[in-house]
Amino acid sequence: MTDTFRITLGQLNPIVGDLPGNAAMAREAWAKAREAGANLLALTEMFITGYQTQDLVLKPGFTQEAMAHIVDLARDCVDGPAIGIGGPYAEEDRLYNAYWILKGGRVVARVLKHELPHKQLFDEWRLFNVGPISGPYSLDGLRIGSPICEDAWWPEVCETLAETGAEILLVPNGSPYHRGKLDLRMGHMVARVVETGLPLIYLNSVGGQDDQIYDGGSFVLNPGEDGGVVKVMQLAPFDEMLAHVDFTRTSAGWRAVPGRMDHQPDEWEQDYRAMTLGLRDYMRKSGFRKAVLGLSGGIDSALVATIASDAIGPENVRCVMLPSEYTSQASLDDAADCAGRLGTRLDTVHIEGARDAVGDALAHLMAGTQPDATEENIQSRLRGVMLMALSNKFGELLLTTGNKSEVAVGYATIYGDMAGGYNPIKDLYKTRVFETCRWRNRNHRDWMLGRAGEVIPPQIISKPPSAELRPNQKDQDSLPPYEVLDAILEGLVEKDLALKDLVAQGFEPETVKKVETLLYGSEWKRYQAAPGPRISTKAFWLDRRYPLVNRWRDRL
């Protein structure tokens, strides 16, 4: 009976839909695992298809081809370690999220996901059938239990695996990043180790896929002698890698040998890395090599230009200044200063002529009216037209530059500054935009392709934000101060607080009501004035955005 077992962990970056490419990546990892003398190469959840597949996995032809690639992988990878790989499994009219175990040229086991996530980013109830709780599989004398991602966030699956003879737990994941996610995962996985008394491997995907970022950060836990838990391996977040973990049989059972303990950056660096990797992978996986954006001299576009430079290199970023007579000389100077510090190209396209032409074309219809947001939005939309023209002509991805605060309350122009294919800062409130710029000016990392140093001019960070669509315009003419707006938005959006909760925190009732109305629209204001019971702002918004889903939910 063997007393040692080596697992090669594949913290890798598959591409959704690229079945041949993902299979080739698995073969390459298997060859390296064989060189390292591994017993098992472990890959992540739905690796062969990439994750998340969304409706792609519902196409029978795609699913059958994915399964065929796994069978071919088993046939080709015979003389070496076993492979654990995530992929779909279709049986008659049922479809499962499965973990396939390959050894000796064939499929020797399949684990079917039991706990299907169905909230926030996930809707696996719609895609997959609930699988039965599987028992452990045996490889070279070691019995391994593989709860798939969500299966390990709840006690039932892991407890059943322990009761049916599992000696270690290997958890393949496709777990997206959010701030503080490692601590959240660690809490759940520590609980599973305490409950089962088994060592646990948490193996996570890495890379960007559309609007989701997978941060890796895989780790290994051992049960402690005193009933506690000991972390014996921690992989770096956001980096692709193969890492080996060795297990030995002890008098207390199998235990992982302590291995690499990579540094875990703080939340500011992880957020910035997530934005950079998300943009880089979105472009790479969509076939774009260059990006274009409007550089206004303001802080949002300066940060987006910096992220793009760090993601794909400043030589691949085109910045465009699109001034009108309302654009201050300071903004022109700041945009030029920022592009120079970053090393990006900067072009200038004046919009006055185009704006005057649109005004002349509409003059007979708008005669007798006073200038208002209509004329302001024409300027923003003309900028969108010109940027999209450059994007189309030169094959450059147009980046949008709106932060979460402004987009949430509608302080943005549809078909104008909201035009574009990808927004790296869509999840940053304005106050975090300021601090992120300060962080980047102080820090540079090897994974950044842009220049080191103070690449965002300090005057861009310190000056009052302005859309510059009319004389002497400032954001705070229309919005509460950003530190107030962001705190209220965080309460309403992230924490689902009610008006009374925010007022109790010291915010003015009228300010909270104004932000609520901006966030949820005039229908919310009418609802608040109507008689009857109340629901939370988030429930109200969800009910109107997803009426059919909520009616279905109410029938359960």
What are the two backbone dihedrals, phi and then psi, of residue 317, each rounded to the nearest 5 degrees?
-115, 125
Q: Active site residue: 103, 113, 285, 430, which one?
A: 113
What are the two backbone dihedrals, phi and then psi, of residue 288, each rounded to the nearest 5 degrees?
-95, 145
Q: Is 319 tagged catalytic?
A: no
Q: Is 149 tagged catalytic?
A: yes
Q: What are the respective helix, strand and coil percentages of the chain, to the nearest 5?
A: 45, 20, 35
Check: CB of residue 322 under 8 Å from CB of residue 355.
no
Q: Is 45 tagged catalytic?
A: yes
Write the CA distances from 152 to 165, 203, 253, 299, integer angstroms.
17, 12, 21, 42
Q: Which residues contact 180 (CB under 8 A, 6 or more apart)?
A: 267
Q: Which residue has the tokens 């109507």?
A: 530
Q: Active site residue: 77, 115, 149, 319, which one?
A: 149
Plot region of 293 (φ>0 → left; ψ -120 to 50 → alpha; else → beta): beta
Helix axes 373-394, 352-366, angle to 10 degrees: 130
The token pair at 16 is 């959704």
Q: What is the DSSP letter of 237?
A: B
What residue type is assigned to position 195 of the chain?
A: E
Peptide bond into 505 cis (omega under 30): no
For 258, counting Cβ atoms within 10 Å of its Cβ (0-12 exposed, 13-18 middle, 19+ buried), the class is: middle
Q: What is the DSSP letter of 49?
A: T
Q: Are strands 106-112 and 253-256 parallel, antiparallel or unpaired?
A: unpaired
| Strand order, beta sheet including 142-145 | 137-139, 142-145, 168-173, 200-204, 219-223, 229-234
Could you list the active site residues? 45, 113, 149
